[in-house]
A and B are shown apart, each in its own frame.
Chain A
Amino acid sequence: MNTPQPVEAVVALRGVHKQFGAVRAIDGIDLALAPGECVGLVGHNGAGKSTLVNLINGTLKPSQGEIDSHVTRGGRGSAIRSVFQELSLCPNLSAAENLRIAHPTLKGLGWRRRAGAEIRTSLDQVFPGHGIDTDARVDTLSIAQRQMIEIAIGFAPRGGQARLVILDEPTSSLDAGIAEQLLAHVERFCAEGGTVVFISHMLGEIFRVASRIVVMQDGRVVAERESAGFDRDSLVDAMGHVAQHAPSGEQRRHAEGSAPAGAASETVIEDAAGLSARRGEIVGLAGLAGHGQAEALAKLYFAGTSGWRAPRKPRMAFVAGDRGRDGVLPLWSILRNLSLSVLPAGARRGAVDRRAEATLGREWQQRIGIRSDDLGNPITSLSGGNQQKVLFARALASSAPIVVMDDPMRGVDVGTKQEVYALIRAEADAGRTFLWYSTETEEVCQCDRVFVFRDGKISAELSGAEISEERILAASFEMQEN
């Protein structure tokens, strides 16, 4: 365990405030980050974590207070690196070219080759056996691979040395195996004297790597302890949400003493690849990230809906996980983003019913807890997790009997997750069908039936009591053993 006092802090914040207009994003924070420690930073969506990150790395200037650092801070030669949950690679460039953007001194003939070597070395260190083509355009890679490249760029030397790496939800699109590689690397990095700030809603990971845990709420640090001083419940309590362990699908079925939901009801989806779902069923898609689950869902959605017709009762609704690519309309307000899928149902003679739209917005803001005082604010003013809630509301507010969800919990905090699980369960009991791709086993275990994907094909179908982490992992890896 580290005691921060004797060593000089890499970065020290004293009485830092940050305001955006009337909004106090950071409201008085003192924090010192010492070499060799891994600080777990937790808090709700909108607690101010991302703003704090931007203050630490020098992107934002504090409105009040001081930030001291003895390493290069800010600018492109910075020894402080940030990896964000919103993917920030240039999609039309390769991994090597993306590294070059963050590495200004890489110049002259053959820079591409040297950049390629550097990013490959870094990838090999963090994710041994990653299998990523560093010369491929980033937009041809899966979201997990993009996240891995971004992390590798964060740890790469880039003409200097990374002293402090801030990881903001780094594992949200990684599967368990890859996430484990990252956690192991974080431990190595800290053992060699580096500092890591690790932001995650996955508390297991926080306990696994953090030497110290800082809990934020409403722009303040509300608790700060060595990680041994917390357990799961006390940490969730400190974040200000009552811990609710929602029963898994399995436990719930046992409690009800009934057959798996919808066993007797009609099949509403059946595709050539073998994916099927019955009315009122929650069907999970599992397996390692990037093994064709997202593609299967997109294919299903595109085949099941039309680019020409927009029926008042749509057949399917979609919840995007890759918000920037598949979900958010960045020029619009929160309300317009939320209401888009419902508009045809309420339209009269081609006119949007704006009163009904506003009512719908208020209803869902309360129901799903979107943190904004005005739904007329731009969607981009929301934190990532709150944007995700808007996308959930967009799909659930529609009358679509089938809801397709492509890893929809990225960046959503623990409390909200439990609420959304409950919401999904209630909707399923009312007869809605859910298709749910997730990289998190906890979520997959909420499902009634699970299809495990491997290399773009279904490698196993599990239902009821068969759904367990071991069975899913076994089905995900089988091929590699042969």
Chain B
Amino acid sequence: MQSLISRPWLWAWLAAIAVFALSIALSGAAQAGGLLYAALSFGAFAAIVGIGQMLVITLGPGNIDLSIPAVMTLAGTLALKAMDGAPGTALLGLGVALLVGLGAGAANFALIRLLRLPPIIATLAASLLYQSLAIWSNRGLRIKPPAALADFATGRTLGVPNVALIGVLLALVVWWLLERGLWGRWLLATGQNPRAARLAGVPVERVRASAYLSVALLAGLAGYLLASFSGGAALNMGQQYLLLSIAVVVIGGTSIAGGFSNVPGVWGAALFMFLVVSMLNAYGFDAGARMMLTGVIIIAIVVAANARRRRT
């Protein structure tokens, strides 16, 4: 029991469950299934980019990727353009999206490593470039995804949204890498003390490069899925994922100081974030009040989780 309480992911899940219960209390139990389904669908996108952001934040203070929204937009836009709505091109689109992610990740890391820019500046500046590319290639046209892909992205398997299944699968892979894999050990060691890790034989440059590549790849994938899910790419489609990707990492119990990751917490926090907004919607708050309350709730849960951790 003691070990359960000290689990840092517990708080995100408790919060998600509490908000879910509050929403059901208002709208009635009949809505529970629908709400859960929506939370899983929309939460999946936040979870996928959140897991990427978590890997980078785990690298230690100063490491963050602010180019996630722009990479999502660019990947979604270019993938849809490549597919052009033609049937049987889903894999081509996926390939394009992942290549965009890979390219963006490599560019981000090159800026950080070669020009020695702080990651916060490098990724923010690079994101302007990615966003411009997206604007330039989009030019206001709205291409629909191939029908089969759109059906898959909005569809379900065994009652669970397909995007959520992908999100859970990715979470499991990353969880395994961190808990059982050599790469995870290296990442966590680098995040605690890069100098000590390097002196212990950890290839810290490779670890950093792979973390920045991973987050961009995941952002590319999320952009591809989101564009397919919502029937086309929009220039502001990634916007809300800047705050979301960071919030789910922090609420999920990953250490901002680095060296400690928490995969289950990211998923709990992603569900929580969606449920909060939908609950406030259901209670009839307008957009301003909704944003304010969301901010307050995020702060409250981070404070609560931190206070708890300090005691244990």
A interface residues, Cβ below 8 angstroms from B: 301-302, 305-310, 314, 317-318, 320, 325-332, 336, 340-341, 343-344, 347, 350-352, 354, 394, 398, 400
Find the residue from A302, A308, A336 having the highest chain B CB count within 10 A: A308
Residues of the B chain whose Cβ atoms lie less than 8 Å from the Cβ of A336: 185
Q: Nearest Cβ in chain B — how far from A217, in angstroms?
A: 32
Residues of B within 8 A of A310 (CB): 186, 201-203, 206
Q: How far is the CA of A195 from the CA of B177 in the complex (A)?
A: 55
CA gap between A341 and B186 in the complex, in Å: 10
B196 CB–A CB distance under 8 Å: yes
Q: Is the CB of B183 within 8 A of A326?
A: no
In the complex the two chains form, what is the Cα distance from A265 to B193 in whole Å?
Answer: 37
Cβ < 8 Å to A, chain B residues 156-198: 177, 180-183, 185-186, 188-189, 192-193, 195-198
Chain A contact residues: helix, strand, loop or mixed = loop
When C-beta atoms are compared, the residue in chain A nearest to B177 turns out to be A350
The answer to whether A320 touches B199 (Cβ under 8 A) is: yes
* A305 to chain B: closest residue by CB: B201
Interface residues of B (CB under 8 A from A): 177, 180-183, 185-186, 188-189, 192-193, 195-206, 255, 259-260
CB distance from B284 to the nearest CB of A (A): 44
Which of B181, B188, B193, B206 has a CB less than 8 Å from the CB of A308? B206
Given A308-B206, A330-B192, A352-B180: 13 more A-B contacts, CB < 8 Å: A301-B199, A305-B198, A305-B201, A306-B203, A318-B201, A326-B199, A327-B196, A329-B189, A332-B192, A340-B201, A340-B202, A344-B182, A350-B182
- Rounded to whole angstroms, the CA-CA distance of A325 and B200 in the bound complex is 12
CA distance A407 to B307 in the complex (A): 39
Chain A residues, Cβ within 8 Å of B189: 329, 332, 340
CB of A331 within 8 A of CB of B192, answer yes
Chain A's closest residue to B198 (CB) is A307
Residues of A contacting B182 with CB < 8 Å? 343-344, 347, 350-352
Contact check, A307 vs B185: say whether CB atoms are below 8 A apart.
no
Q: Are A329's CB and B203's CB within 8 A? A: no
Given known pairs A347-B182, A350-B183, A352-B182, the reply for A317 and B205 (CB within 8 Å) is no
**Contact A340 to B204, CB < 8 A, known contacts A326-B195, A329-B193:** no
Smallest CB-CB separation from A314: which chain B residue? B201
Q: Is the CB of B205 within 8 A of A308?
A: yes
B203 and A309 within 8 A (CB): yes
Question: Across the interface, which residues of B come within 8 angstroms of A302, CB to CB?
Answer: 198
Residues of A within 8 A of B185 (CB): 336, 340, 343, 352
Q: Which of B182, B189, B260 has the most CB of A within 10 A?
A: B182
A351 CB contacts on chain B under 8 angstroms: 180-182
A314-B202 Cα distance, complex, nearest whole Å: 10
Task: Give bound CA distance, A336 to B200, whole Å.
Answer: 12
In the complex, chain A residues whose CB is within 8 Å of the CB of B188: 329, 331-332
Minimum distance in angstroms from A337 CB to a CB of chain B: 9
**In the complex, A306 Cα to B206 Cα: how many Å?**
10
Q: How far is the CA of A343 from the CA of B186 in the complex (A)?
A: 10
For the complex, give the distance between the alpha carbons of A318 and B259 in Å.
21
Measured between alpha carbons, how far is A332 from B191 in the docked complex, in Å? Answer: 11
Our pick among A306, A329, A400 for the contact of B192 (Cβ within 8 Å) is: A329
Report the 9 A-B pairs with minimum CB-CB distance, sorted nearest first. Answer: A307-B205, A318-B199, A310-B203, A329-B192, A347-B182, A341-B201, A340-B200, A308-B206, A331-B259
Contact A350 B181 (CB under 8 A): yes
Q: CA separation between A352 and B205, bound complex, in Å?
A: 20
- Would B260 and A329 count as touching, CB distance under 8 A? no
Within the complex, the shortest CB–CB distance from A316 to chain B, in Å, comes to 8
Is there an interface contact between A307 and B195, defined as CB atoms closer than 8 Å? no
Q: In the assembled complex, which residues on chain B have CB atoms less than 8 Å from the CB atom of A308?
A: 203, 205-206
- Determine the residue in chain B with the shortest Cβ distance to A310: B203
CA A351 – CA B185 in complex, angstroms? Answer: 10
In the bound complex, residues from chain A placing their C-beta under 8 Å from that of B205 are 306-308
Q: How far is the CB of B168 from chain A (nearest CB, A)?
A: 21
A309 touches B206 (CB 8 A): yes
CA distance A329 to B198 in the complex (A): 12
A330→B204 CA distance, assembly (Å): 17
By a CB distance below 8 angstroms, the chain A residues around B193 are 325, 328-330
Closest CB in chain B relative to A171 CB, distance in Å: 24
- Give the CA-CA distance A317 to B259 in the complex, in Å: 22
Whole-angstrom CA separation of A307 from B201 in the bound complex = 8
- With both beta carbons as reference points, the residue of chain A lying nearest to B206 in the complex is identified as A308
Contact between B204 and A394, CB atoms less than 8 A apart: no
Residues of A within 8 A of B259 (CB): 329, 331
B57 to chain A, nearest CB (A): 14
B260 contact set on A, CB distance < 8 A: 331
Q: What is the CA–CA distance of A308 and B204 in the complex, to the nearest angstrom?
A: 7
Return chain B residues, CB-CB under 8 Å to A314.
201
Q: How far is the CB of A445 from chain B (nearest CB, A)?
A: 26
Identify the interface centre among B196, B204, B259: most chain A CB within 10 Å of its CB.
B196
A350 to chain B, nearest CB (A): 5
> What's the Cα separation between A307 and B204 when bound, in Å?
5
CB distance from B175 to the nearest CB of A (A): 13
Contact call A328/B201, Cβ cutoff below 8 A: no
Q: Give Cα A327–Cα B259 distance, bound, in whole angstroms.
A: 15
Inter-chain contacts of B196 with A (CB < 8 A): 320, 325-329
| CB–CB A317/B201 < 8 A | yes
Q: Which residues of B contact A343 (CB under 8 A)?
A: 182, 185
11 residue pairs bridging A and B, Cβ less than 8 Å apart: A306-B203, A307-B198, A308-B203, A308-B205, A308-B206, A310-B203, A310-B206, A320-B199, A328-B193, A351-B182, A354-B180
Q: Could you tell me the distance between the alpha carbons of A326 and B203 in the complex, rounded to whole angstroms?
A: 15
Instruction: With CB as the reference atom, state the residue of chain B lying closest to A336.
Output: B185
Question: Which B residue sits closest to A320, measured CB to CB?
Answer: B199
Q: How far is the CB of A405 from chain B (nearest CB, A)?
A: 11
**A318 and B180 within 8 A (CB):** no
Nearest-Cβ distance from residue A313 to partner chain B, whole angstroms: 11
Interface contact B201-A325, CB-CB below 8 Å: no
* A307, A310, A336 — most chain B CB neighbours (10 Å): A307
Report the separation of the CA atoms of residues A307 and B194 in the bound assembly, to the nearest whole angstrom.
11
Contact status B200-A341, CB under 8 Å:
yes
- CB neighbours (8 Å) of A305 from chain B are 198, 201
Which residues on the A side are within 8 Å of B199 (C-beta)?
A: 301, 318, 320, 326-327
Cβ distance B114 to chain A, nearest Cβ, rounded Å: 14
Given contacts A352-B181, A352-B185, contact A307 B200 (CB under 8 A): no
Give A86 Cβ to nearest chain B Cβ, in Å. 15
- Min CB distance A357 to B, Å, is 10
Q: B203: which A residues are within 8 A, CB to CB?
A: 306-310
CB closest residue in chain B, given A357? B185
B residues in contact with A332, CB < 8 Å: 188-189, 192
